[in-house]
Structure 1
Amino acid sequence: MDHHELILRRHDAAAALGMRAGIEPVYVASHADRIAVDPFSHPDRFWQRLVDMYAQAPGFVLVSGSIAGRLIGYGFGCTRSAERAAEIWSEIRAALPDLAIPAGPQPVFIFNEFAVHPGHQNRGYGRTILDALLAGRREPVANLFVRPENPARAHYLAWGWRKIAERKPFADSPTFDSLIKDLRVTANWTRAAAGSGGDGPGSDQVDGAPPAVQDSTGVEAFPPARKPKVVDPPAGSVAL
């Protein structure tokens, strides 16, 4: 297998919870600086949030990226129902008056977590996983949290995310910038297609890859040697 060949898979909650052996090393390596100084970022706390909160939310999905059979990155999120997303929409109206707001309540995709192993950063893999996670979403916008000092913040802004507020989702968590991305720009979203779902706070990790040219599906266009390979997935997972 070519060492640049990235394989993407989509996993439901049950499958994701069986992937700790693959997910946790990526989390630990990519969050090493925060784990050393912030109890909130401890791997056990991260996994407990995944088990107790994120994976329990309706619409949960995780996209993994693997090379040569080894997981090198992941991103996951869920849908917040229109009723529970009212505060986000209020913040959008106040912060982004230029953004066209749906007339009625709409759900929001909550982008919970995103990480790429440092040994595979700056190669475009993180952007690929993120675009695959967001591609085809029925919600009009996505929401994530990122620490203001995180270098990832500049990449999110370059990729079309916009700040709407500052939020502290847990009593012992840092204060994050709350960013949103208009998914209608890269997908044929319509109000009739929008669903409803669950809940969960946002993400604070991304690799350092620069923005990439996108095709019509919102997924990164690859040189032939780096085109993600489609494989037969395990139960609970779908090849992308």
Structure 2
Amino acid sequence: MTVEFQRYDQSRIEEVRQTMCDIHVEVRAGDLGLTGPFYSRERFNERLSGHSTAPGWEAAIGYEDDTPVGFAYCVPLAPNTRWWKTMTTPLPDGYTTEDGHRTLALNEIVVRKPWRGTGTAQALHEHLLAPRAEQRVTLLVNPKAGGGKVQAVYERWGYDKIGEQQPFPDSPVFAAMMRAPLHRA
């Protein structure tokens, strides 16, 4: 099994939007049982549209032959980001100060079931982060996803839980995680 990764910037979002939406629905609802309006195709597509218009947005998709196996996308946090505004846990002074270059938000990483447990998710993650120059990377994870196994994977990849947040009224309360520095030695 050989998975190759391709990168996409804002100018190419329409080439991959349908693929990303299809994989999201298959994995979130079908495999992980994450249901409800927040996890619907429509709501994911809305979030994707909003994220992909931000400066610095980038995605990576893994393919085995011509079959898409998963995707990840990220965007740097701008000075006026709302990312930190919904934290339920106070963070130290200066921790949430952003300048568009300090913190990268990993908005989504989704890998289809046949490729889970093969190292594909971590390879996709590292491929997406490899050329990035930000100092650190943050993400939100549903602590119930996979019975807590998804959060444990991020911990193995060097992320630490820094608190909790609920970014939308209909979203779950997520564990907010940070990996600093961005690149592991």
TM over 0.5: yes
- Residue equivalent to 1:78: 75
Instruction: Classify the secondary structure of the residue corresponding to 2:152.
Output: helix
Residue equivalent to 2:53:
56
Match of 2:138 among 143, 146, 152: 143
Structure 2 residue 118 is the aligned partner of structure 1 residue 123: yes
Gapped runs of 5+ residues in structure 1?
A: 95-100, 187-215, 217-240
2:160 is aligned with 1:168: no
**In 2 relative to 1, CA 91–60 (structure 1 residues): closer, same or farther, beyond 3 Å?**
farther
- Deviation of the 1:36 alpha carbon: 6.3
Larger radius of gyration: 1
- After alignment, is 54-63 or 79-88 more displaced? 79-88
Report the secondary structure of 1:66's partner residue.
strand
Aligned pair 1:108/2:103, yes or no? yes
**Aligned in 2, Cα 1:83/1:31: closer, same or farther, shift over 3 Å?**
closer
2:177 corresponds, among 175, 179, 194, to: 179
Could you tell me how far 1:64 is from its partner in structure 2? 0.7
Higher relative contact order (CA 8 A, sep 6+): 1
Contact 1:107 / 1:139 at 8 angstroms: preserved in 2? Answer: yes
Q: 1:201 aligns to what? A: none
CA contact (8 A) 2:28 2:35 kept: no
**What is the one-letter code of the residue matched to 1:70?**
T
Q: Distance in 2 between matches of 1:47 and 1:85?
A: 19
Cα distance 1:176–1:87, how it changes in 2: closer, same or farther (>3 A)? closer
1:181–1:22 Cα change, 3 Å:
same
Runs of 4+ in structure 1 deviating by more than 3 angstroms, as ranges, are 33-37, 82-88, 90-94
Q: Aligned equivalents of 1:83 and 1:36: distance in 2?
A: 30
In the alignment, residue 67 of structure 1 is paired with which amino acid? E
More helix by share: 2
RMSD value over aligned CA atoms?
Answer: 2.6
- Give the aligned residue type for 1:167: Q
The CA distance in 2 between the partners of 1:176 and 1:161, in whole Å, is 14
Q: Which amino acid aligns with 1:114?
A: I
> What per-residue deviation string (whole Å, max 9, x for no partner) do you get for residues 129-177 of structure 1?
0011111321111110001222200010111100111100011111101
Q: Is the 8 Å Cα contact of residues 82 and 107 (structure 1) preserved in structure 2? A: no
The CA distance in 1 between the partners of 2:84 and 2:38, in whole Å, is: 24
Structure 2 residue ranges without an equivalent (≥5): none
- Would you say the 8 A contact 1:82–1:108 is kept in 2? no
Query: 2:46 is aligned with what amino acid?
Result: Q
1:18 to 1:178, Cα distance in 2 relative to 1, 3 A: same
Q: 1:195: which partner in 2?
A: none
Confirm or deny: 8 A CA contact 1:116 1:126 kept in the other structure.
Answer: yes
Match of 1:200 in 2: none
Q: Secondary structure at the match of 1:19?
A: helix
